[in-house]
Amino acid sequence: MKFARAIWKLLVGVKDVLVLIFMLLFFGLIYAGLSSRPAPVKDGILAFELEGAVVEQPSKPGLTELASGGTAATREYRLRDLVAALDAAREDDRVKAVALDLERFTGGGQVAMIDLAEAVRRVRESGKQVIAYSPAYGDDSYMVASAASEIWLDPLGAVAIAGPGGNNLYYKGLLDKLGITPNVYRVGTHKAAVEPFIRNDMSPEAEQNAQALGGALLESWREAVAKNRPKAKIDPYMRDPVGALNAAGGELSRAAIGLGLVDKIATRDAFEARLAELGGEDEETGYKRIKLAAYVNDSVSDDDSGSIGVVTVAGMIVDGQASAGTAGGDSIAAIIEKAVRKGGLEALVVRVDSPGGSVLASERIRQAILNAKRRDMPIVVSMGNVAASGGYWVSTPADFIYAEPSTVTGSIGVFGILPSFEGTLQKLGLGADGIKTTPLSGEPDLLNGPSEQADQFLQAGVNSVYQRFLAIVAQSRKKPPAAIDQIAQGRVWDGGTARQLGLVDGFGGMEEAIAKAGELAKITDPQDKVRYLERPVSFEEQILELLANDQASPAPPQDAFAVLSPDTSLVSALTDLRSILAGPRIQVRCLECPSSAPARVKAEDLSFMAALRAWLF
């Protein structure tokens, strides 16, 4: 009995300690939440201090990712919040000017940057000054800054325009070393997503497609910059940056101002002194500033009763439930179905910024959109940076599809990768044997490799999904499947070419998509009747978001080397490698599409990288 009482006291003590810890954590989080509430907005300079990436939908990491440290590396800003804040600032007398502080800005994709730059230009055209500053400008940051009234550059800085391009990792040599056989099943001459697993370089078909896409994206970028800043001599600088540097005596900043790329070479202190002239001085901060988060909270509001619903499909399309920033098939379908059941919706706008993923999840989302359409609800799709493969699959129910010239779309193809480990077992001196009662018993055999019958069975499955994909697109675009097959085959298209091919209906962004939805549903003043459809945030998620915001750190300062060589490319490649090998067996995914979102490392990615490092070293 004494032993039992001692155990009981121990358990009660443990329980009391856990309750105490929970209570401390609970009240600590409440205090943190209350103390982090934005201060009231006063007169001053709207400080657009972007210390991370612009995304369509910020990610919300779960408890596992927070505990393991596997989260987005830097802060994320929702594109529509930034655009809405800039539009509100145009007529807000409290905002004397806008400061675009891009020192720690990491970009966010060409379409998003053009949209953000257009919002900046609208502020400039309203008569308010927009002053941009950075130690270095890359493709994305210069696009945004090009719309400013004044572009400032640090004396030690540079404008480093690289354009689309760069290398991708190819894993065949690594997989051979590990003894892993990537059994590939695909349809599409240009389905280059699988090439990194079966080659050590690009195929001629993939290179041709990538070169055409890169050229089109560069042309769209040039046109947008020329529109924002006609005096910038971008072409000679991009053609011969070394020549421009030599002509400026070897000074990067002098070369930039000589070609009209920037207006002022000065330090941050001078930049802030200029802002103090425009908005008033402040003893603590140098100039009177309106913090971005406070202004968004004060000036940007969502209507939860509008008749035009907007649902976002952002990130990788995955099976089941997923938090914001990843397109969970069940999650997004449930959001749409709940809004339709609730009533009050007369039209639906689907904002797509996804390279695809799971074919089952893509179909789950498509069916939810179709169910809304069966209720005579017009469907309009607005494509963002990327709406390819599965991203195009979910777009097919639309009555009208908008894209931008810089949108990456198409990639109508299917693939599957099934890793087997016969080579690994041989390296380890292991064997695998067993029995069969049918040709498919124990198949696909991941130890000895799939049998010939299993290979044929799996390839037939991929072929079937591809034919289904063609049929869906053909029905949507009102063309024969054979005609769609000619422009499919996994090819990736820019938005301009996609419009010529009939894969999209018109150029435009969210504003045009909402206007079209209002026109089709006969809704007056559609821009004032938008309801953003998102899953309600639970108390647990609010706590995790507070923790995530506390963990998230601003990106490091962007010098010329940093903007030319982002340090997340290797991590992103290894994350893609793990997700492909461990993901759904049949995928509608564009792995070769340019990524706009920051690398989001999950706990399983960290485990994979640790295991890979241990194996190799």
Pairwise CA distance, residues 247 & 236, whole Å: 12
CA-to-CA distance for 604 and 65, rounded, in angstroms?
9
H/E stretch holding 295 reads helix 292-299
Q: Please name the residue ranges forming H helices in 126-267.
A: 139-145, 172-178, 195-198, 204-228, 234-239, 241-247, 252-258
C-alpha span between 569 and 164 (Å, rounded): 14
Which amino acid, 45?
Answer: I
Ordered alpha helix ranges (H), 406-480: 422-428, 452-477
Residues 50 and 106: their CA atoms lie apart, in Å, by: 8
Rounded Cα–Cα distance for residues 123 and 119 (Å): 7
Instruction: Confirm if 303 and 527 have CB atoms less than 8 A apart.
Output: no
Q: How far apart are CA 509 and CA 515, in angstroms?
A: 10
CA atoms of 371 and 582, how far apart (whole Å): 31
Structure tokens at 299: 């000036």
32: which residues sit within 8 A by CB, 6+ positions away?
546, 550
**Alpha carbons 173 and 196: distance in angstroms, whole number:** 10
| Helix orientation angle between 359-373 and 329-342, rounded to the nearest 10 degrees | 10
> Cis omega (within 30 of 0) on the bond before 526?
no
Q: What is the residue type of 158?
A: A
Indicate the DSSP class of residue 260: T
Contact between residue 174 and residue 613 where contact means Cβ atoms under 8 Å apart:
no
Q: What are phi and psi of 50, to 5 degrees?
A: -90, 105
One-letter amino acid at 24 equals L
CB 119 within 8 A of CB 87: yes
- Calpha distance 360→330 (Å, rounded): 10
Q: What are the backbone dihedrals phi and psi of residue 123, each rounded to the nearest 5 degrees, phi first?
A: -65, -45
C-alpha to C-alpha distances, 611 to 69, 282, 606, nearest whole angstrom:
17, 52, 9
Instruction: Exactly one of 253, 299, 354, 389 is catalytic; name it.
Output: 389
Told to judge if 479 belongs to the known catalytic residues of this protein, a careful annotator would answer: no
Instruction: Quote the CA–CA distance of 60 and 68 in Å, as a whole number.
Output: 15
Residue with token string 């976002």: 312
- End-to-end, the C-alpha distance of the chain in Å comes to 55
What torsion do the CA atoms of 332, 335, 336, 337 make, to the nearest 10 degrees? Answer: 120
Q: Check if 191 is active-site.
A: yes
Residues with Cβ within 8 Å of 530's Cβ and at least 6 positions away in sequence, in order, are 303, 306, 308, 310, 349, 514
User: Which residue of the set 128, 191, 288, 516 is catalytic?
Assistant: 191
Describe the strand order of the beta sheet including 327-328 as a list of residue ranges: 181-187, 414-420, 586-589, 356-358, 317-318, 327-328
Structure tokens at 479: 């063309």
Active site residues: 191, 389
